Structures are given as C-alpha cells and as structure tokens.
C-alpha cells in the first residue's frame, strides 16, 4: 500500500511540475510577444514590461523546482535541484532590482 501511495504522489508531483514549467514558458512567450509589439510601437516601457514577464515566469519555474525537491531520491539530485533554486532566486532578485530601477527611470 505504501508503494502505491508513493507512486501516486510522485506522479501527481511530476504532473504539477510539468504544469508549472509550462505556465512559466507560456508567460515568457507572451511577455516576449508583448515586448516586441511595444518595441515596434517605440514605447518607453519595453524593458520594464519584459522584465516583469520574465520575473513572473521565473516565480513559476522556481515553484516547480521547489516542488521537485519533494521527490528527489538521493543527495546528488537534491544538490542539483538546490543549485537550480539558488540560481533562479538570484536571477529573480536581479530582475526585481532591474524593475525597480527601470520604474524609477520612467516614473
């Protein structure tokens, strides 16, 4: 019975990870398309809009990595997942810093 529940849990988590990754990719695609349109219309907020889209997408992708840590089997997988979480968190921090600076420049 334990193995059945464990397998079910693993399948649900993997499905959720794929869903979160998909949402993150979709947000990046939409943000890039909007930024391209803004660029072609010569709007000042192109960088800000793109940065906000990327930041939101990274939050979803970071969520998928955190969820992935619940199903790791050994320390090597945990170390890789942890490194990815740290890198994505650092990138998110830098993007939020860029958003703040861009808002100050435009505002």
Residue 82 scores a pLDDT above 90: no
pLDDT confidence band for 73 (50 / 70 / 90): confident
Which pLDDT value is given to residue 18? Answer: 97
Model pTM score: 0.83
Q: What is the chain's alpha carbon radius of gyration, rounded to the nearest angstrom?
A: 18
pLDDT above 80 for 107: no
Averaged pLDDT, 87-107: 89
The pLDDT score that the predictor gives to residue 74 is 87
User: pLDDT tens-digit profile of 13-69?
Assistant: 999 999 999 999 999 999 999 999 999 999 988 999 999 999 999 999 999 988 988
């Amino acid at each position: 019975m334990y193995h059945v529940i464990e397998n079910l849990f693993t399948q649900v988590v993997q499905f959720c990870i794929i869903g979160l990754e998909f949402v993150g990719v979709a947000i990046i695609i939409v943000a890039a398309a909007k930024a391209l349109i803004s660029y072609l219309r010569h709007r000042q907020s192109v960088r800000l809009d793109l940065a906000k889209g990327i930041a939101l997408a990274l939050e979803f992708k970071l969520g998928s990595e955190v969820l992935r840590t619940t199903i790791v089997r050994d320390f090597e997988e945990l170390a890789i997942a942890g490194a990815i979480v740290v890198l994505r968190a650092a990138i998110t921090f830098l993007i939020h810093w860029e958003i703040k600076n861009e808002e100050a420049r435009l505002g």
